[in-house]
Structure 1
Amino acid sequence: MGKYISGNCSEEEKQKIDQWINEDPEHARMINDLKAIWEERPDRQEWDAEEGWNEFLNNLEKQDHSHLRLVKEASRRSKESYRISENRKVRGRPRFFKYRVAAAAVLFLVLAFASLFIYDRYNHSDSAEEATLVMQEIVAEKGQRSQFKLNDGTKIWLNGGSTIKVSAEFNSDIRKVYLEGEAFFDVASDPKRPFIIEAGQSITQVLGTKFGLQAYPDEDIRLVVQEGKVAFGGVKEENTIEVASNKMALMSGKDEIDVKNVENLGLYIGWVEGRLIFKNTPFKEVLKRLNRWYGIKYNLVDSSLTERTITGEFRDEAVSEVLDLITLTMGIDYEKKDGHITFMDKEDE
């Protein structure tokens, strides 16, 4: 990329870059940004991409938070983790510009990750037989929520404690991803290429629609459709059903699917907009969601507290405010110690 901007690439390299630019208007924007940086540099010199990349990684290590982790995973290869951005949305160009990175090639790598070209091929020799397909894994740690876009235009919101894996063959006849945790999908329409999600024992297939899917380990799998229709079922095709908008499907461990109407979608997908909504929600479920939302660790002095219910809505409040309101509503108390939050009935104090 650096050679392309400086006019020193071969004709073959130029053709590859030109093809890449034509695939997406966002790519052209990136090229224009790089050209502008190159033209403004007073000391144009050959870029040392390796040195610049190492410097960039060192800068990221100094940051306190990150909301997305991209793990490159290839067969017979160790995993390498790259922490991308401190922001919830991973597309913040000004965030990267402030570092004034010495090598513009590094900026290209950052912007490329920001657009999440999460499929690639590694080929470390001239032999095609040694090329290794790569599966990329995107991770949102507990206490984090992230938004990103695949190169087909599909937008994905990833909730805390969740992982999505994308095959290197994502751009083939079938767009396929693997989910563990919770995500909201705004799938780009493509009638010729279905979008398929494998999550636990479930398979979800769409052509283009909006829906939320939750598939945390040891929990029922839940699908909530906001727009369009979704084919949802188990690994056996005969168990597949069609779920329309404003409906929810629950799959138990026995592949039994129960479909019901949803009056308030915000209860299930409000987290995408930064809202925590509870309606007669058992405290044990509230604690799970607080753990994923804020990354809190908790203890219960009295296990009977788990069956008490809560109704309320919170929007981007600090964890202390949420805890104060919840405990006040329930008539209980809490204390923080050694990174844990202990909940107790006021009578137990």
Structure 2
Amino acid sequence: MLSNDHIDTLIAREIEGEITAEEMAQLQSWLEADPANQAYYEVLKDTWDLAAGAYSDMPEPDVERNWQRFSENLATPVPLRVVTRRNSWWRLAAAAVVVIAAAGLTFTLVRNNSHTTLTAEADKKTFTLPDGSRVFLNRNSQLSYNGRFGDDNRTVQLKGEAFFEVAADAANPFIVAAGASQTKVLGTSFVIKAYEDKPVQLDVVTGKVAFSGKKGEDGALVLTAGNTAILQRDKEPQQINNSDPNFMAWKENRLYFNNVPLYKTLSTIEDYFGVRFSVADKSLLTLSYTGKFDNPSLAEVLDVISKTAEVKISEEEKDVYRISR
């Protein structure tokens, strides 16, 4: 990770037209990494131009001597490279105090107050966070974090459903805030489902996590791989038995049913494809169904179920299907 001092140096060289191709590549990569970085660059450049304009008509002083005094008086001098043009020397010295005092503070505020929001609407998406952790967002889900993520905290906010592969960092726990729950880990993989007006559900795939509610860490459940817990409104976390083999179907792109009542089969398909079913004959819901689909399409699944369960499936309207005998 590039230091703030090095970034300041790159920006100064870019503004003065003295930046090398390698340095420009570093700067461009840093700018694209976070919207807060672009905001900092703009503030620094505007401040630089303002200071340069203010002193453009003044005579040039003994720049080398002034710069030496200026550097000695700074508590933390920015190691900017000295350029050869006398006008550049004066612009750099004139703007430095304003840049360090104003832009340095602005950079801190921008990073602290900025938020990055990752969304998956119609399609599932995969993201790599600044700390190297990977997040797989289900459809209609959202993840956000502030500008300090990865520096002194690794806290994210989740709405919807996501699978996390957390990069190990024993000194900086990874925390997921979802609904009224908080999940704290050091390095593991897990699924959190946090849809509005539904209990928050946590499934641990590998490693160990602490799952807590209103009581915080004092009331946390420590869960290991293969265990599941839910958090209902105004209650504390509760460990449950999750026998559903499709809890990660949306991520793994597969559906598996083994002698499952048709109502559970349909519920899983609704979640997977974002559709709804209406059943004319309620007795159909208790029929048992067995089947397996890899990378399924909705048309394939409906066709196989209609033939296997001997039912008729018709589309009543967009994404709404009616099941009858």
After TM superposition, is the score higher than 0.5?
yes
Distance between the aligned counterparts of 1:226 and 1:343, measured in 2? Answer: 36
1:184 equivalent to 2:148? Answer: no
1:140 equivalent to 2:120? Answer: yes
Q: Tell me the residue number matched to 1:101.
A: none
Residue 240 of structure 1 is aligned with which of 202, 217, 220? Answer: 220
Tell me the alpha carbon deviations over residues 130-154 of structure 1, each in whole angstroms, 9 at most, x when there is no partner: 9542212211124x22212112110
Q: Tell me the residue number matched to 2:10.
A: none
SS of equivalent residue, structure 1 residue 230: strand
Q: Cα distance 1:226–1:303, how it changes in 2: closer, same or farther (>3 A)?
A: same
Distance between the aligned counterparts of 2:240 and 2:152, measured in 1? Answer: 32
TM-score normalised by structure 1 residue count: 0.60
1:328 equivalent to 2:245? Answer: no
Tell me the alpha carbon deviations over residues 162-202 of structure 1, each in whole angstroms, 9 at most, x when there is no partner: 11112222123220111111111110001111100011111
1:273 equivalent to 2:252? Answer: yes
SS of equivalent residue, structure 2 residue 305: helix
Q: Cα distance 1:295–1:167, how it changes in 2: closer, same or farther (>3 A)?
A: same
Q: Cα distance 1:14–1:315, how it changes in 2: closer, same or farther (>3 A)?
A: farther
Q: Tell me the residue number matched to 2:180.
A: 201
Q: Are the counterparts in 2 of residues 251 and 258 from structure 1 also a CA contact under 8 Å?
A: yes
Tell me the alpha carbon deviations over residues 322-347 of structure 1, each in whole angstroms, 9 at most, x when there is no partner: 1122333444322125423322221x
Q: CA deviation at 1:305?
A: 5.4
Distance between the aligned counterparts of 2:288 and 2:25, measured in 1? Answer: 53
Tell me the alpha carbon deviations over residues 103-134 of structure 1, each in whole angstroms, 9 at most, x when there is no partner: xxxxx99xx5xxx7576573564454595422
TM-score normalised by structure 2 residue count: 0.63
Query: Number of residues paired by the alignment?
Result: 250
Q: Tell me the residue number matched to 1:220.
A: 199
Distance between the aligned counterparts of 1:199 and 1:297, measured in 2? Answer: 26
Q: Cα distance 1:233–1:119, how it changes in 2: closer, same or farther (>3 A)?
A: farther
- Name the aligned partner's letter for residue 127 of structure 2: F
Q: Are the counterparts in 2 of residues 246 and 263 from structure 1 also a CA contact under 8 Å?
A: no
- Name the aligned partner's letter for residue 134 of structure 1: S
- Name the aligned partner's letter for residue 240 of structure 1: A
Q: Tell me the residue number matched to 2:137.
A: 158
Q: Which of these two proteins has the greater Rg computed from alpha carbons?
A: 2
Q: Are the counterparts in 1 of residues 249 and 272 from structure 2 also a CA contact under 8 Å?
A: no
1:122 equivalent to 2:101? Answer: no
Structure-to-structure mapping, 1:1-349, within 5 angstroms:
9-10=14-15, 21=26, 112=32, 117=34, 122-123=39-40, 125=43, 126=47, 127=102, 128=105, 132=110, 133-142=113-122, 144-237=123-216, 238-260=218-240, 266-279=245-258, 286-287=265-266, 289-301=268-280, 310-346=289-325
Distance between the aligned counterparts of 1:263 and 1:302, measured in 2? Answer: 27
Q: Are the counterparts in 2 of residues 333 and 345 from structure 1 also a CA contact under 8 Å?
A: yes
Q: Are the counterparts in 1 of residues 120 and 141 from structure 2 also a CA contact under 8 Å?
A: yes
Q: CA deviation at 1:246?
A: 1.4
Distance between the aligned counterparts of 2:312 and 2:167, measured in 1? Answer: 46
- Structure 2, unaligned runs of 5 or more: 1-12, 48-101
Q: Cα distance 1:267–1:295, how it changes in 2: closer, same or farther (>3 A)?
A: closer
- Name the aligned partner's letter for residue 244 of structure 1: T
Q: Are the counterparts in 1 of residues 293 and 301 from structure 2 also a CA contact under 8 Å?
A: yes
Q: Cα distance 1:196–1:310, how it changes in 2: closer, same or farther (>3 A)?
A: farther
Q: Cα distance 1:122–1:139, how it changes in 2: closer, same or farther (>3 A)?
A: same
Q: Are the counterparts in 2 of residues 120 and 168 from structure 1 also a CA contact under 8 Å?
A: no
Identity of aligned residues (%): 29
- Name the aligned partner's letter for residue 9 of structure 1: E
Higher relative contact order (CA 8 A, sep 6+): 1
Distance between the aligned counterparts of 1:231 and 1:20, measured in 2? Answer: 41
